[in-house]
């Protein structure tokens, strides 16, 4: 083992010795403790001289060498540390050092072993490489430069060419210049000659100028002499001028004097003639009141001569001498007076109204010597004034008369208007009044016709029925026309299924068409949106009129009803309806006329086919007031086509009233009907018709009785008349729906299908309507429609679903409640349950107060509901609805629309309760 060890150590030391890399061992103090031959070689210092010396002594940077071995001891091992060894002779060797510590068996550090690697060669190689790279780079650069030079050369060559060209041009230019120079030289020579000539001329002129200067001097001297002489002459002249002026002045003064004296004479003559010429009387009066002078006008106005007047008393000539005296005195007192009214009397008694103006006149010392008075004849003015006053009086009178006339006209207009109103009222009332018994007549005739009679009797009965039918049509037409005239024709906007609605209506003609052996062809464009918004009742009325004309005027062939979509956009659809027949046709000359009131194509029409000529007039009104157009094409004996176009709004809503037709032969058993109708005849008729259907019926005379009956018994359908004493159909329905909460289908019986009535029917919760005279088939179909469906409340359901769908999204929003209660579950539950407790009684109070018309209570109960809307996030709409109800309630009258609003609010509140109950349960679950 010992031997092995010594072998190993020998082997190691021979390896070390053989290493060409310098190897050194260093003590902890950094002193060399051993090395190999390579180290000796690299430093050129003997082994024993190296031992004990400092490791860093043999490097170019001793400090760096020290850091190296210190780091070796500190870290344990360092690699590739670059140092440069300087050998004895000063040669430098670049070395990369690796160093690591070596330890004894106990792990104590004994020293470090450092191995260096000569990298001078590598370094040189690298430098060579670098140098090569540099050269390569330089080559590239040179190449680049050469390329640039080539380009530059080309550029230069180009420039040379350009320059050559330029040079050639310059040579040409030079030649030109040389030529020009020659020319200029020539010109210069000429100029020189010319200059010489000028010079000579100049010299001549100079000479001449000198001579002139001398001559001028001579003249100047002569001028001076002359000026002196002239000055002397001027002085002499001035003297003469002065003498002349003096003479002139004197002569002018004497002339002026003459003219002045003359003009004075003229002036006095002039003023005298003016005074004389004056048409106003002028009088001069002495202080004593005697006339001293006057003009001609005075003589004329008094009818006396100047002589007669002179010296007489001024006052004598006035109708009121006292007043004249007063004026005259006033002149003296005030020195003047203006526009005093007096009346002069002519000798012949004629009076002249005058206005007096007077002023005193004085002598040179200012003493008053008399009065001058000028009078102005104002007779004419007075006359005009009088006439004016009269005219004013007359005008006032005329105004009075005119006003009276106006009042009369207004009252006449009022009377006329009242008369028109009365006429309309009368028409409405009469047709209403006529209708009821008429309906009974027709109804009973129909009933009678079903029983056994002799052929003759049946014929009479048919005659009665036909007359009745004709009368009812006439009455309805008159009523419609009266409405159109009064501008009362209104149109509803409700969603309806057009196809179903039209086919239900055409159904009514089937029997008639079959009877006449005609064919009915229907074409309905499937592109027409299923539900459209419009007035189905009016649409029926239009088509009904056209089809019944077609049936009436067609003996053989067919009648086609065509409905097609003309255009459609996001909002609306325009539909064309045409009714085409193969009947008698209309002569071209009459085609314009047939849309006018009471116009038929020929005078014989009424006799042959009946009718009044009102139908098309109404149809045209109905189409045009809805913004549509109607036209007709017709060929005599071939047929006619009436077509009209109407636009309908599109909607996503469901249709409100379905008009499916149920056949009479469908078997219905054990059906009980409540007929609410006040008129005995109608009661009886309904009873007969319904019993004939095999239904069981009860009759109530008004709404109140109906409600009582409904408390005791269930009915399948209620037929409800609208106008009744005590409690009308609307009120009764409202009560049934909202207080009794009954959902029994209610069909309104309307004598007069107005849109207003229909809207009201819908609002209070009726399911459908039927117009009187009741068409049995339609009535049966409608009743069947309701009783066949397991859930009766067909329309109501639709109605509720529509509302509920809206509500599902927006009825409650607990964001506010969450925020207020900071989502505290218990608080939230408390709030919700408070709402749930309070709301149902409030709803009840609201409904009851509406039925009882207790407006104050209605107002108060709605008032109590309002705060909860915002707490439960029920939206501003509910609040507005409530406020609207309050507004209605404060008017203290049953307004249209209030029941609808109450119903809507009730629905919303009930829905809110349902949702809140769910919410309450949800919160409850989260905390349990
Ligand atoms: P009525 O039918 O009551 O006479 P209308 O105003 O409906 O009144 O019609 C006016 C007239 O137009 C009719 O009298 C008839 O002469 C003519 N007319 C209307 N429709 C047709 C038709 N389809 N074929 C032939 N003539 C028609």
pLDDT at 272: 65
* Token pair 């007076």 in the structure block, residue: 337
Domain ranges of the chain: 20-118, 177-377, 490-650, 672-787, 815-927
646, β-bridge pairs: 575
* Ligand 1 nearest-atom number relative to CA 639: 24
Q: What's the pLDDT band for 722 if we cut at 50, 70, 90?
A: confident
Residue nearest ligand 1's atom 3 by CA: 611
Ligand 1 proximal residues by C-beta, below 6 Å: 549-550, 553, 581, 583-586, 594, 599-601, 605, 611-617, 640
* Ligand 1 nearest-atom number relative to CA 550: 23
More confidently predicted of 187 and 92 = 92
Q: What is the pLDDT of residues 129-166, one digit of tens each?
A: 777 777 778 777 777 877 787 787 777 778 777 877 87
Range name among 176-190, 265-279, 709-723, 835-849 with the lowest pLDDT average: 265-279
**610, pLDDT greater than 90:** no
| Whole-number percent of the chain with pLDDT over 70 | 86
**pTM for the structure as a whole:** 0.37
Task: Report how far ligand 1's centroid is from the alpha carbon of 613 (Å).
Answer: 7
Q: What is the pLDDT of residues 94-108, one digit of tens each?
A: 888 888 888 888 888
Q: What is the mean pLDDT of residues 708-713?
A: 91
| C-alpha atoms less than 13 angstroms from C-alpha of 862 in its C-beta half-sphere | 31
Highest mean pLDDT among 400-414, 472-486, 624-638, 789-803: 624-638
Q: What is the pLDDT of residues 11-54, one digit of tens each?
A: 556 656 666 678 888 888 889 988 888 888 888 888 888 899 98
- 177-377 is a CATH 3.30.450.20 domain: yes
Q: Among 3.40.50.2300, 3.30.420.130, 3.30.565.10, 3.40.50.720, name the CATH number for the domain at 490-650.
A: 3.30.565.10
Residue nearest ligand 1's atom 21 by CA: 549
| Superfamily grouping for domain 20-118 | PAS domain (3.30.450.20)
Q: What is the mean pLDDT of residues 823-849?
A: 85
What is the rounded CA–CA span in Å between residue 203 and residue 198? 8
Pocket test residue of 584, 603, 615 for ligand 1, highest count of atoms within 8 A of CB:
615
More confidently predicted of 322 and 439 = 322
Q: What's the pLDDT band for 806 if we cut at 50, 70, 90?
A: very low
Q: Among 3.10.20.30, 3.40.50.2300, 3.30.70.100, 3.30.2130.30, name the CATH number for the domain at 672-787.
A: 3.40.50.2300
Q: What is the pLDDT of residues 528-586, one digit of tens each?
A: 999 999 888 788 889 988 998 999 999 999 999 999 999 999 989 999 999 999 999 99
What is the rounded CA–CA span in Å between residue 10 and residue 16? 10
Burial 679-710 (b: 16+ CB within 10 A, else e): beebbbbbbbbbeebebebbbbbbbbbbbebb
Fold of 815-927: 1.20.120
Task: Report how far ligand 1's centroid is from the alpha carbon of 91 (Å).
Answer: 138
Task: Report how far ligand 1's centroid is from the alpha carbon of 488 (Å).
Answer: 25
More confidently predicted of 179 and 696 = 696
pLDDT at 745: 93
Q: What's the pLDDT band for 639 if we cut at 50, 70, 90?
A: very high
Task: Report how far ligand 1's centroid is from the alpha carbon of 751 (Å).
Answer: 26
Q: What's the pLDDT band for 910 if we cut at 50, 70, 90?
A: confident
Task: Report how far ligand 1's centroid is from the alpha carbon of 55 (Å).
Answer: 137
Give the DSSP per-residue string, 289-307: SBEEEE-HHHHHHHT--HH
Judge if 20-118 and 490-650 fold alike in CATH terms. no
For residue 37, give every residue at least 6 positions away whose Cβ sits within 8 Å of its Cβ, in sequence order, or none: 17
Burial 199-219 (b: 16+ CB within 10 A, else e): eeeeeeeeeeeeeeeeeeeee
More confidently predicted of 566 and 190 = 566
Query: Which of 697, 681, 795 has its CA nearest to residue 747?
Result: 795
More confidently predicted of 248 and 344 = 344
pLDDT at 752: 62
Q: What's the pLDDT band for 772 if we cut at 50, 70, 90?
A: confident
């Amino acid at each position: 083992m010992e031997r092995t060890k010594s072998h190993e150590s020998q082997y190691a030391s021979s390896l070390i010795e053989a290493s060409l890399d310098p190897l050194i061992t260093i003590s902890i103090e950094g002193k060399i403790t051993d090395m190999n031959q390579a180290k000796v070689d690299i430093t050129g210092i003997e082994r024993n001289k190296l031992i004990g010396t400092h490791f860093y002594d043999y490097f170019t940077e001793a400090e760096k060498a020290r850091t190296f071995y210190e780091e070796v001891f500190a870290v344990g091992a360092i690699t590739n540390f670059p140092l440069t060894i300087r050998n004895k002779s000063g040669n430098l060797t670049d070395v990369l050092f690796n160093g690591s510590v070596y330890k004894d068996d106990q792990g104590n550090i004994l020293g470090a072993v450092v191995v260096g690697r000569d990298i001078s060669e590598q370094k040189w190689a690298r430098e060579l490489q670098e140098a090569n790279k540099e050269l390569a780079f330089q080559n590239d650069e040179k190449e680049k430069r050469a390329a640039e030079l080539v380009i530059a050369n080309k550029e230069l060559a180009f420039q040379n060419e350009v320059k050559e060209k330029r040079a050639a041009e310059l040579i040409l230019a030079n030649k030109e210049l040389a030529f020009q120079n020659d020319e200029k030289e020539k010109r210069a020579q000429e100029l020189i000659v010319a200059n010489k000539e000028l010079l000579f001329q100049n010299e001549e002129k100079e000479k001449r100028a000198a001579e002139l200067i001398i001559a001028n001097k001579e003249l100047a001297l002569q001028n001076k002499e002359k000026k002196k002489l002239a000055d002397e002459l001027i002085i002499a002249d001035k003297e003469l001028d002065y003498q002349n002026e003096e003479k002139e002045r004197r002569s002018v003064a004497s002339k002026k004097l003459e003219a002045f004296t003359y003009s004075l004479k003229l002036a006095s003559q002039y003023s005298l003639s003016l005074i004389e010429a004056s048409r106003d009387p002028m009088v001069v009066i002495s202080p004593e009141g005697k006339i001293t002078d006057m003009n001609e006008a005075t003589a004329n106005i008094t009818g006396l001569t100047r002589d007669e007047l002179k010296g007489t008393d001024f006052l004598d000539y006035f109708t009121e001498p006292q007043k004249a005296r007063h004026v005259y005195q006033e002149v003296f007192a005030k020195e003047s007076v203006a526009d005093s009214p007096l009346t002069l009397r002519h000798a012949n008694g004629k009076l002249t109204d005058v206005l007096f103006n007077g002023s005193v006149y004085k002598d040179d010392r200012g003493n008053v010597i008399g009065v001058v008075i000028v009078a102005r004849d104002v007779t004419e003015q007075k006359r005009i004034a009088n006439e004016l006053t009269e005219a004013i009086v007359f005008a006032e009178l005329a105004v009075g008369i005119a006003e009276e006339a106006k009042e009369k006209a207004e009252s006449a207009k009022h009377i006329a208007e009242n008369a028109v109103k009365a006429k309309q009222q009368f028409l409405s009332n009469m047709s209403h009044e006529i209708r009821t018994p008429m309906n009974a007549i027709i109804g009973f005739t129909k009933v009678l016709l079903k029983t056994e009679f002799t052929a003759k009797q049946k014929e009479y009965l048919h005659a009665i029925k036909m007359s009745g039918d004709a009368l009812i049509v006439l009455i309805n037409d008159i009523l419609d026309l009266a409405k159109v005239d009064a501008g009362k024709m209104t149109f509803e906007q409700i969603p309806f299924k057009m196809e179903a609605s039209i086919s239900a209506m055409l159904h009514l003609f089937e029997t008639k068409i079959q009877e006449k052996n005609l064919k009915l062809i229907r074409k309905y464009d499937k592109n027409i949106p299923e539900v459209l918004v419009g007035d189905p009742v009016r649409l029926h009325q239009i088509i009904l009129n056209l089809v019944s004309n077609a049936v009436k005027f067609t003996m053989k062939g067919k009648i086609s009803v065509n409905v097609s979509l003309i255009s459609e956009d996001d909002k609306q659809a325009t539909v064309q309806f045409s009714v085409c027949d193969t009947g008698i046709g209309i002569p071209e000359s009459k085609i314009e006329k047939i849309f006018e009131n009471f116009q038929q194509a020929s005078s014989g029409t009424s006799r042959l086919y009946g009718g009044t000529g009102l139908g098309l007039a109404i149809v045209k009104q109905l189409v045009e007031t809805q913004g549509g157009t109607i036209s007709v094409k017709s060929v005599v004996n071939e047929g006619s086509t009436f077509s009209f176009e109407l636009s309908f709004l599109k909607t996503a809503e469901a249709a409100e009233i379905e008009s499916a037709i149920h056949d009479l032969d469908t078997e219905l058993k054990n059906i009980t009907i409540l007929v609410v109708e006040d008129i005995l005849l109608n009661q009886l008729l309904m009873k007969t018709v319904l019993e004939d259907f095999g239904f069981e019926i009860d009759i109530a005379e008004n709404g109140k009785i109906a409600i009582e009956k409904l408390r005791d018994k269930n009915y399948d359908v209620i037929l409800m008349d609208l106008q009744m004493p005590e409690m009308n159909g609307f009120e009764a329905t409202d009560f049934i729906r909202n207080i009794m909460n009954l959902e029994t289908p209610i069909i309104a019986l309307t004598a007069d299908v107005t849109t207003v009535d229909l809207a009201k029917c819908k609002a209070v919760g009726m399911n459908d309507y039927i117009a009187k005279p009741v068409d049995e088939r339609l009535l049966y179909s409608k009743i069947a429609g309701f009783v066949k469906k397991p859930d009766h409340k067909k329309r109501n359901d639709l109605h509720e679903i529509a509302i509920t769908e809206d509500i599902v999204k927006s009825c409650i929003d607990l964001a506010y409640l969450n925020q207020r209660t900071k989502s505290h579950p218990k608080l939230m539950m408390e709030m919700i349950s408070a709402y749930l407790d309070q709301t149902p009684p409030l709803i009840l109070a609201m409904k009851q107060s509406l039925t009882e018309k207790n407006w104050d209570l209605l107002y108060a109960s709605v008032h109590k509901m309002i705060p909860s809307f915002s707490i439960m996030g029920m939206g501003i709409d509910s609040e507005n609805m409530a406020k609207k109800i309050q507004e209605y309630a404060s008017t203290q009258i049953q307004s249209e629309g209030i029941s609808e609003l109450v119903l809507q609010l009730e629905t919303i509140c009930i829905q809110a309760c349902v949702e809140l109950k769910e919410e309450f349960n949800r919160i409850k679950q989260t905390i349990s």
